[in-house]
Structure 1
Amino acid sequence: MDTSLDIVRKKLTQQRHKLWLPPFTPKDDNDQNAANQAMHSLAVEFAESLEMAIELVASNLKKLQSHALAKVEARARVTFEGRLLGDGRSIIVSFPQTDLGSKVRKTIEQTLQVPRVEIICSGRAIQDNRSLQQQSILPDVKRSSSRHLKVLLLASGHSCEGHPDDEAAAVVVEEERLRLAVVVVQIREAAARLTRDGFGDLELTDAKTGALVPVPPLARTALITAILLHVKGRDLLRDDHGDTAEAGAVASLPFLSESDAAFAQCRSLGAGVLVDKIDNFCQLQLDLVWAYVRLGNLDHLSDAERRLTISGERLMARTDPRFLEKLHNAALQNRTLPPAAVPLARFFLLRGISAQCRVQQSKEDTDGSMGAKLGPVDETRALEAAQKDLERAALFLKSLRVKDSSVLGLMELGATRVQATATLRKAEGHPDIAQNFWLDAQRQRREQKRSRHEQSKLGQTVDGSFIDLEKRKTLTDLYGVTHDLAVASLRQTNNDMNAALDWIQKNGNNNSNNQGTNTENTETVMVDVDEVALVTLVSMGVSQSDAKAALQSCGNDVNEALLLVTSSPHAEEEVPPPDAEEDAPVITEASENMCAEKEHGTEIGDEERLEMERRRKEEEEAATYNEARNLIEAELGSALRRRDLEDEVAGSSLHHEVFILSQFGYSS
């Protein structure tokens, strides 16, 4: 026989009333009376239809509501299990998913009695001003791996019972935390300023070709922020901080986690494809796992495995299986491996360590609470996979060594130690070949810098790609098209050569009539003037500005430049010397040329005067640019000045990797 509670429950189910939602629960603190009235009206309705006392129905409805609310709260709660770095204290706390990060942080600080704590969850710092739900932190019931969410707690001070030394130490640690927080803010603000002010030479460049890579405008700030934060975090991770390896990892995690969040923002702003392509994101995943390894705990094993899966997929997608086999065979023959083997060696090392840690955690997980219990067969397979990865990592790390004497030889040519190591790996350890590689690389970098400058001045096509320099050169050299017309055609046709030729046929005449009237999008690329050719023309009586302009137009061909100058409508005009000395202008190259022309008695026409004024403005803008750039570099430190970030991976010393590998019983 059903009880009164069962009867009321069936009635609720039939009418589909949800007692855990408004109007039966208050929307806010001021809505409690309305919720009570709704519950009373429902009790009256049920009492009449069920022929029961109102008091009994109301009591049963209250019990059912309390039970429903408890279930809802349990389903939307997040239970954190964290370990405080430094003293090893652990804590297990539970919060509603709607709680702000600030409430979570303050509760943990009060429980552990520390002035300040940073909470790292899945490689990211929990933000104060957003709820756990807004930060995509799943409740306990929706996580299959474990009923507790593992977090890392970074304390910025300790509870001091009035001891002077402890108080001083806490102040120092707190000051360091604030300093790092300020650096993060500076990097974000500087990245925003770079985007706002249009610092074009900070576009991404392809490491192989040196060509500019277009970035969606909305994602530009986030992408620059992500890269700069990653560089800062990597520097801290690789440097030795304090007496333990743990210190460097602790210092790097805030920057690495902020970088990961910035990359996630890039995806949401339309740059997901670009993020997947660039090496920085893949390297960030490995660096975060490396930080976990240096911390020496299993709390973040699941997140480490997830990041290794991401980086592994990208590395293997870019690596031909035959190339991987070739690397393995070369290592067996004790040959020096190329830089491409560095991220692979790190990946195999970290994946092997992760597999061994998973087996270790499975053995310690006697009740299955960690969600990591492996069967005998799975445990054997995991150990075999770990052994295979660690053996391959040891083999690769051994073959990535280079002789220190060869490194010093390249450093005498101007290379840094990192660049020298990377170059020797490219040359398979041969010092003579490495020296040639280094000199060729320097010439190539200068050429790439010139090409990037030229490419940035040409601008972008309609679809946002940079104008193809080779196609522009083909149009001007092979088809005889003017520079401006070639650039305009490629811009309008998104670098489609056939379409560009069609566009020129249809629009060539109209465009030629408008040349020189619109320089905003078709700026002429300035060619470096040959000094000998310039002196030759000036000695023939040509003004310095005319000589420079002609040489730039004719690619430093003296004969063609002379023909161009003599055919100019102003060439034969005679100009009387100036009557009065003008006020001294700003000392720039353009103004010096103007003075030189006055001394030689050469007429300054309207077009030439406009050209010199344009050049003067460009030089003033360049000076302003350099001043702003120096200010930003001072704020960002080495992160922005370092041009060859790819060499940091290719030329890594790998000392830390070798040391960690030795702790697992493998030598390299």
Structure 2
Amino acid sequence: MDAPNYTIELQTQKVRQRLNADQIKLWLPPYTDTADGKQGQGNIPEELCVKYSNDLNIPAADIREILEHLRQHALQKLAERDQFQKTGKAVLKIKATGLRENKERISQIETVEISLTSTGCDLRQMLAEKLGLPAHHLKMICRGQVVSMTKSLQEQNVKHGSQLMCLYLSVSEAEAAQKEEEVMQMMNTRQAAELLSSKVEKDDYDVDIQIADQSGRPLKLPPEERKALTLAMTMHEKGRVAIKKKEITKALLLLLEADKEFRKCGANILNAVDNYAVLCLDIVWCYLCLQNIEELPDADQRLRSSEDCFVRSYGANLERLAAVKGESGTQLALYMKLHLLQGIVAFHHHRITEANVLLRKAEEELKRLQIDENQLSQMMVMGFSEREGRLGLRATNGDMTKAIQHIIEKRKEKEEIEKKVKKERRQKKIQRDLGKTASGAKVDMSLYENLISMGYGRGAAAAALKQTNNDLNQALEVLQLHPELLNLPDPEKKSVDITDDMIAQVVGMGFDTIMASRALQLVKGDVQKAIEELIQKGGILPPTPEESSPSSSDSSPSEAGPSHRSSEEEDKAIKELVSDLPEDEEDYLDLTLQEEAQYLEEYLAKVNSVLSTNT
């Protein structure tokens, strides 16, 4: 937006505010010569133009032009409202964005008249005809939600006068198929994320996706909330990966899916983590990259949500974070991005003074976040990663010696947390193997380990605790009265990795590959025992429990879907899902801030231009 156009918008905003304050209704007499305000010529008094010119420091000719523009705009809105009341057809304003086949950027605003009982598919088709674009490559967003193709507009809170955003997902005929595949990949991503969250709920997973507080400690959550947060955070991470790849349209769709899941979580849970605040920042960042920051009213609200969360988590000046972690330099990057986006939104909402203050604050924070590239290079030569070096230098205000010590401490802290998490995960697996007590409760792992430390076998310890409902004294008495329990086998299921070499040895004796794998699983990887087992059973073994779970065997072919995949398919889906996710929990703080610096420079120039015009 160039300065002259913005100056006109700013002047119009000032005049509109003054009209509201003076309770002047331009669509009524004496300003419009018909009482109903539907038609008629304008009659703007000269004295009103002169008064506003003197009060607002705007030329009288410009005032008259602005007043007439606002009068006609009001009449148009009244006509549209009357039409909606009579015909039921709502007027929607839709801004399309994307790239055409010739790489030309789409920035087109269309007005559509449609019944709110129509589906999202109906609206998309109508819009596609207006834009001259293929309908199946359009995605529409209203009030921060992706418009569903199957539901009515009314069901999705689309109202008369709503503003929508339309994303065009392809740039040429050759790339159309690829973009379509990306949309399908997004759908599959959601299915795989749901599968992962289900496994998280059962603690049946090997993927290290942790839900932790600001100190990095895992949160103890009820299974359902843990499942919902895992799904939301996974979709968020996939969206952030897409942002890094500059796939902004795909990123925005993934982030809005994450937003939908986060909204299902309780406020007390969201207050304990900063994930939702970062998600809101990322969504508004996508709006900015798609040049739609001024078209979406929810950008302002999302940034307020981010700020509230950051203040609760870190303190207004990061003091709470410094007390918890001993440093605050890395999180300052989030505040810088927040203030930058708040300043840009304020600029587009014509709050120039506020925009100037926020952008100047972002400028100061950016200066504090700048690091010496020579120092970063030296740290990388020492064996530290670029991410570790950047975050370490920011955390210690550029002190290289302290940064190295900070990185070493962070590594140790991470190792301790990982050890604790692995131990808890292993104990949960053992607890499942042990089964339930007579009352249906889980075996108490601390009592189980106490009995083992006293010299009792694992089978005996488990049996005694199950019989006595986790009563240690009674369990000891049972073990003394029933020595036969001391001979019970170990109830813990030991997992063994079956290698291709093991399978090849068994197959080499003339057995089927699948049967060889089953036999090796049965005998915990002992090749000789596997061969003997197959010889005794005539080379045929039934499926293992992992191959034929109750959920899959009980379902009919018509019910088959993502939740009824085989174990191998599930593992493959999850691996594909997390293949490009960052391994470090502080990856979201590792911002180079290069693009942010460019936007900051651009909008500071715009603000300075407007301020100089007004002086």
TM range (shorter): 0.5 to 0.7
Length-normalised TM-score, structure 2: 0.59
Q: Which residue of structure 2 lines up, in the alignment, with residue 229 of structure 1?
A: 235
Partner Cα distance (1:119, 1:516) in 2: 67
Counterpart check, 1:662 vs 2:610: no
Q: Is the 8 A contact 1:84 1:154 kept in 2?
A: yes
Deviation, structure 1 residue 635: 2.1
Whole-Å Cα distance in 2 between the matches of residues 392 and 68 of structure 1?
A: 46
Match of 2:143 among 101, 119, 122: 122
* 1:254 corresponds to: 253
SS in structure 2 of the partner of residue 134 of structure 1: helix
- Please say if residues 329 and 396 of structure 2, whose CA atoms lie closer than 8 Å, have aligned partners that are also in contact: yes
Change (3 A) 1:118 1:216: same
Distance 1:391 1:87, change over 3 A: same
Is 1:152–2:165 an aligned residue pair?
Answer: yes
The 5 Å alignment of 1:402-417 reads 402-417=371-386
CA apart distance, 1:307: 0.5
Q: CA deviation at 1:99?
A: 1.9
Tell me, in whole angstroms, the C-alpha distance in 2 between the residues paired with 1:483 and 1:299.
69
Equivalent of 1:132 in 128, 149, 153: 153
Which is higher, the Rg of structure 1 or of structure 2?
1
Question: What CA distance in whole angstroms lies between the structure 1 residues aligned with 2:365 and 2:82?
Answer: 58
Aligned-pair distance for 1:150? 1.7
Distance of 2:163 and 2:330 partners within structure 1: 35
CA apart distance, 1:304: 0.4
Determine what percentage of the aligned residue pairs are the same residue: 19
Q: Separation in 2 of the partners of 1:305 and 1:344?
A: 15
Check 1:404–1:84 CA distance in 2 against 1; reply closer, same or farther (3 A cut).
closer
Cα deviation digits, residues 424-476 of structure 1 (max 9, x gap): 222332222222332333333233222111112333999xxxx9x9x959x96
Residues 323 and 285 (structure 1), Cα distance of their counterparts in 2 relative to 1, 3 Å cut: closer
SS across alignment from 1:205:
coil
- The one-letter amino acid of 1:107's match is M
> Is it true that 1:314 corresponds to 2:314 in the alignment?
no
Deviations 1:180-202 (A, max 9, x none): 21221221222233244531654
The match for 2:361 among 388, 392, 409 is: 392
Aligned residues: 436
Aligned with 1:90: secondary structure? strand
Residue 188 in structure 1 maps to residue 128 in structure 2: no
Who is 1:648 aligned against? 587
Q: Is the aligned partner of 1:457 residue 2:426?
A: yes
Which residues of structure 1 form unaligned runs of 5+?
A: 1-66, 141-147, 158-168, 242-247, 328-335, 360-381, 493-501, 527-582, 596-615
Q: 2:348 aligns with which of 357, 361, 373?
A: 357
Pair 1:232–1:326, CA change in 2 (3 A) = closer
Partner of 1:445: 414
Q: What is the distance in 2 between the residues matched to 1:207 and 1:326?
A: 11
Q: Which runs of 5+ in 2 are unaligned?
A: 1-80, 99-104, 437-441, 496-515, 530-543, 550-565, 608-615
TM-score (norm 1): 0.55
The equivalent residue for 2:332 is: 341
- Asked if structure 2 preserves the Cα contact closer than 8 Å seen for 1:79 and 1:149, the reply is yes
Q: Secondary structure of 2:154's partner?
A: coil
SS of alignment partner, residue 172 of structure 2 = helix
The answer as to 2:129 corresponding to 1:110 is yes
Q: What RMSD in Å do the two structures reach over aligned CA positions?
A: 4.7
Deviation by residue 1:27-86 (Cα, 9 ceiling, x = unmatched): xxxxxxxxxxxxxxxxxxxxxxxxxxxxxxxxxxxxxxxx99974864x84623323442
Change (3 A) 1:87 1:310: same
CA distance in 1, matches of 2:455, 2:361: 56
Q: CA deviation at 1:482?
A: 9.6
State how 1:192-341 maps to structure 2 within 5 Å.
192-197=194-199, 198-199=204-205, 201-202=207-208, 204-206=210-212, 211-218=217-224, 222-239=228-245, 241=246, 248-264=247-263, 266-267=264-265, 271-321=266-316, 323=318, 338-341=329-332
Deviation at 1:659, TM superposition (A): 0.9
Q: Which residue of 1 aligns with 2:113?
A: 94
How far apart in 1 are the matches of 2:211 and 2:235? 18
Q: 1:306 Cα shift?
A: 1.1
Q: Distance in 1 between matches of 2:153 and 2:354?
A: 36
Give the Cα–Cα distance (whole angstroms) in 2 for the partners of residues 587 and 484 of structure 1. Answer: 22
Partner AA of 1:109 in structure 2 = A
Structure 2 counterpart of 1:302, which letter? Answer: P
- Distance in 1 (CA, whole Å) between partners of 2:603 and 2:83 is 50
Instruction: Say if 1:274 and 1:78 are closer, same or farther in 2 by CA, change over 3 A.
Output: farther
Q: How far is the alpha carbon of 1:128 from its aligned partner?
A: 0.7
